Amino acid sequence: MRILVTGGAGFIGSTLVYQLVVLDGEVLVIDDLSTGDFANVDPRAEFRKIDVASPEFVEAAKKFNPDVIVHLAAQASVAESTKNPDETFRVNVGGTRNVIEAAKVTDCQRVVFASTAAVYGDPERLPLQEGDPKKPINPYGQSKLDAEKLIDDELRPAGIDFAILRFANVYGPRQGLQGEGGVISAFAQALAQGDTPFIEGDGKQTRDFIYVSDIVFGLISVIGGDIDFAGDPQTQEDPGRYNLGTGTSTSIAEVGASFRMAAQFFGKYGKAPAREGDIKESVLDFTRARQTFEFLPDVDFNTGVESTYNWFKARYESEHPEAVHDDEFLI
């Protein structure tokens, strides 16, 4: 199978690419390296440094002629989206337009799109189901919701299958400090370096944290699945959308408690103001994904936190961090 992965040098993308090449997939990674790292890309994959929102992307896709496009490239920082919404929409909506165009002019059979729980905004009820109201409270969430609509409006009439995966807060080795699970990497990096982490806001805000390998195995199930993931608008509310989370709510204060165990840290955490545009609560109901493609997260939170901390610690303590074998820390 020929698989094009946008954002394949990033945290989730590079972890996915590694698994795909292990499974003998023929993979093209397209990434502009604005947040990704070329060192993360498995050498068995082909790589092109291209902005997904540029015309060059469609030409590269035509040349590769993928069976499946996995669209992970995004401006994923909520804070950055409030500072620079135009760039967020350029990348997240404009990039998705290009992915759609690429799917139409190649032999692509399916587009797998990484969306986000941020499309729901502050929830009216928990856990969140796919058909619940979508009221994004920041440009990042709105840009992803707009991209979802583009995919449905353009690919369904074209007869190209699609799956829109609404990720919860993903964390794990290789994660940067931005993105929706960035609080985990911020704690891990600070503690690995001997610094004091900060809790933003009152610490009572909750998230559904999911380990990166669980997300990757969900992605792989959809990439190779032999069913119609787009669903039927006549029989399903918000068809083609799937929540990928754990169904478990964890507060930021509980994140701090988990890191105390992982890092044996017994000092006081610092305090910082809450971030602009952050939602207060979020937890996802993944029943549809479980029933459709047997998605079932496997890594418990404390185990995932320990693995993430150990990766950051190994990288910090090594004289040659690029030589640290990331796969040793994946569960």
pLDDT level of residue 329 (50, 70, 90 thresholds): low
**Contact call for residues 113 and 242 (beta carbons, < 8 A):** no
222 part of a folded domain: yes
Q: Which of 67, 74, 49, 293 is nearest to 170 (CA)?
A: 74
pLDDT at site 318: 79
Domain CATH code at residue 84: 3.40.50.720
The predicted-structure confidence for 7-28, as pLDDT tens digits, reads as follows 999 999 999 999 999 999 999 9
**Mean pLDDT, rounded, for 99-103:** 98
What secondary structure letter does DSSP report for 269? P
The predicted-structure confidence for 193-217, as pLDDT tens digits, reads as follows 999 999 988 999 999 999 999 999 9
The predicted-structure confidence for 235-247, as pLDDT tens digits, reads as follows 999 999 999 999 9
Distances (CA, A) of 228 to 216, 224, 289, 300: 20, 11, 13, 30
277 part of a folded domain: no
What secondary structure letter does DSSP report for 7? T
pLDDT at site 209: 97
Q: From CA 209, how far away is CA 190, in angstroms rounded? A: 19
Number of domains making up the chain? 1
pLDDT level of residue 180 (50, 70, 90 thresholds): low
**Mean pLDDT, rounded, for 218-236:** 96
Distances (CA, A) of 171 to 233, 293, 310, 321: 32, 22, 13, 19
Read off the pTM. 0.94
H-run or E-run covering 36:
none
Percent of the chain at pLDDT exceeding 90: 86
**Contact call for residues 215 and 167 (beta carbons, < 8 A):** yes
Point out the residues that are catalytic: 140
123 part of a folded domain: yes
Other beta carbons within 10 angstroms of residue 79's beta carbon come to 15
Q: Which of 121, 137, 144, 156 is nearest to 72 (CA)?
A: 144
320 part of a folded domain: no
Helix (H, G, I), strand (E, B) or coil at 154: helix
pLDDT at site 326: 60
pLDDT at site 181: 54
Residue 294 has pLDDT above 70, yes or no: yes
125 part of a folded domain: yes
Other beta carbons within 10 angstroms of residue 232's beta carbon come to 9
> Which residues have CB under 8 Å from 209's CB, separation 6+?
168, 169, 170, 171, 181, 184, 246, 250, 255, 301, 304
Do the strands 270-272 and 209-211 form a parallel or antiparallel pair, or are they unpaired?
Answer: unpaired
The predicted-structure confidence for 303-321, as pLDDT tens digits, reads as follows 999 999 999 999 888 765 6
Residue 30 has pLDDT above 60, yes or no: yes
Q: Which domain holds residue 141?
A: 2-171+209-245+284-298
